[in-house]
Amino acid sequence: MMILCCLFGCTACLDLQENLFLKKDGSGNFSFTIDMSEFKSMMAMFDQAGDEKGEFTIKKTPQGKLNTTFETTRRKLLNTKGVSNVKAIEDTINYVFGLSFDFKDIETLNKAMNRLFEADSVKTDQKEKVYFQWKDKQLTRLDVLDSKSLFAKTAAMSDKNGSTDGMFNINKLFESVSYSTNYEFENKVGATINQNAMLSSNFKRVSLKCYPFAVQTDSAAKKCSIANTITLK
C-alpha cells in the first residue's frame, strides 16, 4: 500500500527524454531515456521487500523490467543499417534508463526511432513514421508521438493487464508523464517556432518540456506539443 501511495503522490513520476546532437552534415547522436528519479524511494521499498519476502526480485521491479525491454530494442538497433555505437543507459544512481546510438543521416535516425518505439509484436508491414526532417539548415520535429508505443515500452513496469500488483493503472500514470526534448547543434540557432522552447546562452541548444498525454482539463499539466522547427545560422 505504501508503494501505491508513492506512485499516486508523484505529479510527474516519469520524464521521457529524447536527446539529439546534430552535426553539420546531418549525422549525429540520439538517445531516448526514461527518468525514474521520482521513483527512487519506491525502488528502495521493492528491494527491501525482496530481501524480506523474496517476492520482488530486481527482474520484477520497474528498473529490472525496463532493462530487459531496452535490451530487446538494443538488439534491433544493432541490425539497423547506418546505426552504430548502440549503448544501453543504466544509471542506477539517478534511475535513468534508455538507449543511445549514432546515426549517419536523418533518414537513418527515423528508421532507428521506428525500431525504438515499436512494440515487440509489431507487424513488419506497418507504415514507418517520420519523426524528423532536415533540409537547408532547418530541423523539424514533427508532432509524432505514438502514445500506444510508449505505453507498450513503459508498460514493462506493469503486468500484462497494465497494472502494478494488479491495482495500479499505467494509463492513469501517463497523464502526468512529461516529455523533454533536448537538441544540440554544431551551428548556432537562429530561430525556433515552438514558443515553449528554451534556447541556451551559447545559442546551440534548444530544450523543451511538456505534458503531451495530459487531459485538456488538467490545470496542473496542460496538454502540449513537442513539434518544433529550428533554423540554424
- Tally of structural domains, the chain: 1
Long-range CB pairs of 65-71, under 8 A, 24+ apart, other chains included: 65/156, 65/157, 66/34, 66/36, 66/97, 66/156, 66/157, 67/97, 68/156, 69/153, 69/156, 70/97, 70/98, 70/99
215, part of any domain: yes
89, part of any domain: yes
Write down the pTM of the prediction: 0.78
- What is the spatial distance between Cα 168 and Cα 163, in angstroms, rounded to a whole number? 5
Residue-number span of the structural domain to which 42 is assigned = 13-120+128-232
Q: Does 206 score more than 70 pLDDT?
A: yes
What's residue 55's pLDDT?
Answer: 37
83, part of any domain: yes
7, part of any domain: no
Q: Does 193 score more than 70 pLDDT?
A: yes
**Percentage of the chain exceeding pLDDT 70:** 62
Q: Cell 501505491, residue? A: 4
- What is the spatial distance between Cα 10 and Cα 213, in angstroms, rounded to a whole number? 16
CB 206 within 8 A of CB 187: no
27, part of any domain: yes
Q: Does 198 score more than 80 pLDDT?
A: yes
Check residues 81 and 176 and name the one with the higher pLDDT.
81
**Half-sphere exposure in the Cβ direction for 166 (13 Å, CA):** 0
Q: Does 167 score more than 50 pLDDT?
A: no
Report residue 40 as a C-alpha cell: 527512487
Question: What mean pLDDT comes out for the span 184-190?
Answer: 97
What's residue 96's pLDDT?
Answer: 87
2, part of any domain: no
107, part of any domain: yes
8, part of any domain: no
